[in-house]
Amino acid sequence: MDIDKCQIINLPRIADARGDLSFIEERKHVPFDIKRVYYISNVPNGSTRGGHANKDTEQMIIALNGRFRVRLRETNTEKTFVLDRSDRGLYIPQGIWHRIEDFSQGSIMLALVSSFYDEKDYIRDQACAHTENKE
């Protein structure tokens, strides 16, 4: 786990008079094989999502519509990213605590994930996040 590996990845964007087209290819634009895709929408004002780390899962988060902020934490280091473009994704490696907040009205968050859902992969206690991943 290394918070410095969290980074914005620019995705291809083809723009013309008909609109923008972006695409994502695993292992080319995303540094992992995609096993799961999920999206979050209709987030009530003031609500947060995430609030956990993953032991083995990597993910890329993209703002398909609207704007939101992603707060990352590893031990005593924090980073914050604002996502507001559909042609940019935030790569989050395993072991990094993340919380998504400040959703604008109409936001849609897309997540590309390296594993199938498994509750045992989640670290829900922030105080334990950095120690559980070092084992």
pLDDT digits (tens, 9 = 90+) for 90-133: 999 999 999 999 999 999 999 999 999 999 999 887 766 655 54
Q: What is the pLDDT of residues 11-39, one digit of tens each?
A: 999 999 999 999 999 899 999 999 999 99
Residue 68: C-alpha distances to residues 43, 116, 118, 132 (Å): 11, 25, 26, 28
> Exactly one of 29, 52, 98, 130 is catalytic; which is it?
52
pLDDT at 135: 45
Question: What is the structure's pLDDT at 124?
Answer: 86
Residue-wise pLDDT tens digits, 38-77: 999 999 999 999 999 999 999 999 999 999 999 999 888 9
CA-CA-CA-CA torsion sign (84, 89, 93, 94): positive
Average pLDDT over all residues of the chain: 92
pLDDT at 93: 96
pTM for this predicted structure: 0.89
Its sign, for the CA torsion 48, 53, 54, 57, is: positive
* Six-digit token string for 106: 């109409």
Confidence at residue 75, expressed as pLDDT on a 0 to 100 scale: 84
CATH number of the domain located at residue range(s) 3-132 in this protein: 2.60.120.10
Please report the pLDDT score of residue 2 as a whole number.
85
Q: What is the DSSP string of 23-71?
A: ---BTTTBSS---EEEEEE-PPTT--EEEEEESS--EEEEEEES-EEEE
Residue type for 2, please? D
52 is catalytic: yes
